[in-house]
Amino acid sequence: MNLTQRITASEPNTIEFNAYFDQTTVAQLINFANQKGGMVLVGVKNTGEICGVSLGKETLNDWLSQINTATTPALTPHIALYTEQGKTVVAISIAPCPVTPININTSHIKTNKTARHLTSVNSGYQQQNLPESSHLNMPPMHFPWGLSQAQTHTLDDLSAPKIERFISQINHSGRFKIQTTNIAALEKLNYIINGHPTWQAMLLFAKQPMRHHIHIGRYETPTTMIGDQQFTDTLFEIVDITMACVSANISNNSGLKPLNNNSQQQRPAYPIPAYPIPALREALLNAVIHRNYNDSSDIQIKIFDDHLTIFSPGTLYGGITVADLQADNYRPSLRNKLIAEAFYLTGNSEKYGSGFIRIRKALEDYPEIKFEIAEVAGGVLATFTQQQSAVDSHVNTSLNTSVNSHLNVSKNASPNAHPGALLSGQPI
């Protein structure tokens, strides 16, 4: 859908123009979030004349960060780029917020000192104090953002091939049988509500992926990066691409691998990854499925000579603690229910709450690897560390310099790079 079609398809009073990204842009988004949702076109004057905007490498991430930190509850809009008359226009869309009114963080946005909440009235702005805004819709606080309708999006924004792949994998897994049309199936599974995709459906099936990145870095020291890659894609695809990149860039050690910590039983010599791939994949799935998508930070994977870390934005959810995870004694609580169900139904993950059990199971054949989980910097950090092992000296080496020469990471790589290219060592 091009820009003209999107404007035409929008409901009245759900579009605003702004020549630049500034405080007014954030105020416009807050107004829409408090009402029926809407879209701000940055690079279009109030008269409708397209003036365009100039964008740097991190401009859009910076805009998202400003919006996120200036609003409470934090708003995370969807951003799309359009080229009209040879000029760049940025469409920033926001759905109605399940928890309203939105509060302005005055340390980031300059407003009238008495104004705390904004609402749109006939395309103008009306400032309100909290008592005056009590008529605004206030659904239950536990209503998840991702389950609400993305009212600024239509079914045309979903990718038919991605949906077909999803349905096919569900039927193949045998966990659920779907015999209806694809759209009817998504409606039955609550990925589509009243003709609109939910936000979690957009994360899974959008034609244009939302700007939630996975950033992979290869480090020589904690402060010296020697290669990096950033991926942006829908969730099933980004898991596959990320695992391909990680697998291609961890050392493989040829030698004898003991079975079940019994040095008398050994496998034949063959290339052995420095870390168990199933454990890394499980940790990545946990990061993707359970991250806080209202946080604009990236999932970050850092590969060092002797350890690998996976950071996921958002602290543990539902009262679960690190001690609970370590003891495998907790009732799973889902921050992103539809995303978790999508990976479960397709056979990509097992029953809810068993991810860390499977990680430890995969590590049984890797006694030299220590696994730790911690809450740090507003997120969850999983760490795999290579330790001195008396069991198997053949797998006790760090990443060697030859790996560095084949590091398949590039700052300018396509976000949809095929995993095979990464594994084969071919340029991205």
Tell me the per-residue pLDDT of 181-213, one tens digit each, with 9 for 90 and over: 889 999 989 899 888 999 899 999 999 998 889
Which residue, 399, 397, 13, 338, is CA-closest to 200?
338
pLDDT band at 113 (very low <50, low <70, confident <90, very high): very low
68 and 120 co-located in one domain: yes
183 and 289 co-located in one domain: no
The answer to the question of residue 147 being in a domain is no
The answer to the question of residue 186 being in a domain is yes
Distances (CA, A) of 60 to 91, 263, 312: 11, 54, 20
Q: DSSP character for 266? A: E
pLDDT band at 107 (very low <50, low <70, confident <90, very high): low
Which tokens in the block code for residue 89?
A: 């226009």
Residue 233 has what pLDDT? 94
Per-residue pLDDT at 349 exceeds 60 = yes
User: Number of structural domains, the chain?
Assistant: 3
161 and 27 co-located in one domain: no
The last residue of a domain, from among 168, 184, 205: 205
130 and 177 co-located in one domain: no
Domain CATH number, residue 305: 3.30.565.60
The answer to the question of residue 149 being in a domain is no
107 and 193 co-located in one domain: no
171 and 248 co-located in one domain: no
Q: Do residues 3 and 91 touch, judged by C-beta distance below 8 A?
A: yes
Q: Each residue of 283-329: pLDDT tens digit?
A: 999 999 999 988 888 999 999 999 999 999 999 887 888 888 887 76
The answer to the question of residue 17 being in a domain is yes
The set of long-range contacts for 127-133, using a CB threshold of 8 Å and a minimum separation of 24, is 128/101, 130/101, 133/34, 133/100, 133/101
120 and 136 co-located in one domain: yes
The answer to the question of residue 148 being in a domain is no
Residue 158 has what pLDDT? 95
Show the domain range for 198: 156-205
127 and 176 co-located in one domain: no
365 and 418 co-located in one domain: yes
The answer to the question of residue 12 being in a domain is yes
| Selection from 134-143, 220-229, 256-265, 296-305 with the highest mean pLDDT | 296-305
Which residue, 223, 200, 214, is CA-closest to 244?
214
Per-residue pLDDT at 252 exceeds 70 = no
The answer to the question of residue 167 being in a domain is yes
What percent of the chain is modeled with pLDDT above 70?
A: 71
In our burial notation (b when 16+ CB lie closer than 10 A, e otherwise), range 80-105 reads: bebeeeeeebbbbbbbbbbbbbbbbe
230 and 250 co-located in one domain: yes
Q: Each residue of 253-283: pLDDT tens digit?
A: 544 444 455 545 555 455 678 899 999 999 9
The last residue of a domain, from among 120, 142, 164: 142
From CA 207, how far away is CA 69, in angstroms rounded?
Answer: 27
Which residue, 324, 355, 298, is CA-closest to 61?
298
Q: DSSP character for 254? A: E
219 and 191 co-located in one domain: no
412 and 274 co-located in one domain: yes
Residue 223 has what pLDDT? 84
The answer to the question of residue 68 being in a domain is yes
pLDDT band at 6 (very low <50, low <70, confident <90, very high): low
Residue 101 has what pLDDT? 73
Residue 387 has what pLDDT? 87
Q: Do residues 80 and 93 touch, judged by C-beta distance below 8 A?
A: yes
Domain CATH number, residue 12: 3.30.950.30
Distances (CA, A) of 339 to 122, 200, 228, 404: 37, 6, 27, 35
